Amino acid sequence: MSKNNIERISGRAPDELRNVSIKAGVIKNADGSALIEFGKNKIMAAVFGPKEVHPKHMMVSDRAIIKCRYHMMPFSTDTRKRPNISRREIEISKVIREALQPAIIMEDYPRTAIEIYIEILQSDGGSRCAAINAASTALADAGINMRDLVAACAAGKVNGQVVLDVDDTEDKTGEADMPIALLPNTGLITLFQLDGNLSKEEFDKALELGKTGCDKLYKLQRDALSEKYFNDKNGNKEE
Partner 1 sequence: MPAVKKRRIVDSITKESIISNLANSTRLDERGLLDYRNLEIETKILKDKTNGSARVKLGESEVWAGIKVETANPFPDTPAEGVMTCNAERLPISSQYIEPGPPDEDTIELSRVSDRGIRESGMIDVKELCIKEGERVYSVYVDVAVINDDGNLFDAVAYAATTALLMSDMNKFTIEDDEIKMLDEKQPLPIKSVPVSTTFAKIGDKIIMDPNADEEEMATARVTLVTDENGKYVSAQKGKPGGFTFDELREISVISKEKGDEIRIKIREAVKNGA
Q: Give the residues lining the site for partner 1 (CB under 8 A).
A: 58, 60, 65-69, 87-88, 90-91, 93-95, 97-98, 101-102, 113, 178, 183, 186-200, 203-204, 207-208, 211
**Closest to partner 1 by CB, 41 or 93:** 93
Cβ nearer to partner 1, comparing 65 with 130: 65
Kind of pairing between the strands at 65-72 and 113-122 = parallel
Minimum distance between the CB of residue 53 and partner 1, rounded to whole angstroms?
Answer: 9
The nearer residue to partner 1, 101 or 122, going by C-beta atoms, is 101
We find the least distance from the C-beta atom of residue 28 to partner 1, in angstroms, to be 23
Tell me how far, at minimum, the Cβ of 23 lies from partner 1, in Å: 25
Backbone φ and ψ for 218, nearest 5 degrees, come out as -60, -45
Distance CA 76, CA 172 (A): 17
- Measured from the CB atom, the residue of 37 and 115 that comes closer to partner 1 is 115
In whole angstroms, the minimum distance from the beta carbon of 235 to partner 1 comes to 36
Distance in angstroms (rounded) separating the CA atoms of residues 184 and 197: 27
Q: CB-based contacts of 35: which residues, under 8 Å, 6+ apart?
A: 22, 23, 26, 42, 43, 44, 45, 134
- Given a contact cutoff of 8 angstroms between Cβ atoms, the answer to whether 67 and 117 are in contact is no
Give whichever of 137 and 190 is closer to partner 1, judged by the CB atom.
190
Which of 5, 4, 2, 38 has its CA nearest to residue 23?
A: 38
Angle at alpha carbon of residue 42, lines to 69 and 152, rounded to 5°: 65
For residue 208, the surrounding DSSP H or E stretch is helix 200-229
Min dist CB 90 to partner 1, Å, is: 5
Q: How far is the CB of 146 from partner 1 (least distance, A)?
A: 14
> Of 102 and 222, which has the nearer Cβ to partner 1?
102
Using the minimum distance from each CB to partner 1, give the nearer residue, 169 or 193: 193
**Could you tell me whether strands 113-122 and 161-164 are parallel, antiparallel, or unpaired per DSSP bridges?**
unpaired
Q: Which residues pair with 118 in a beta bridge?
A: 45, 70
C-alpha–C-alpha distance, residues 126 and 131, integer Å: 9
CB of 126 to partner 1, least distance (A): 16
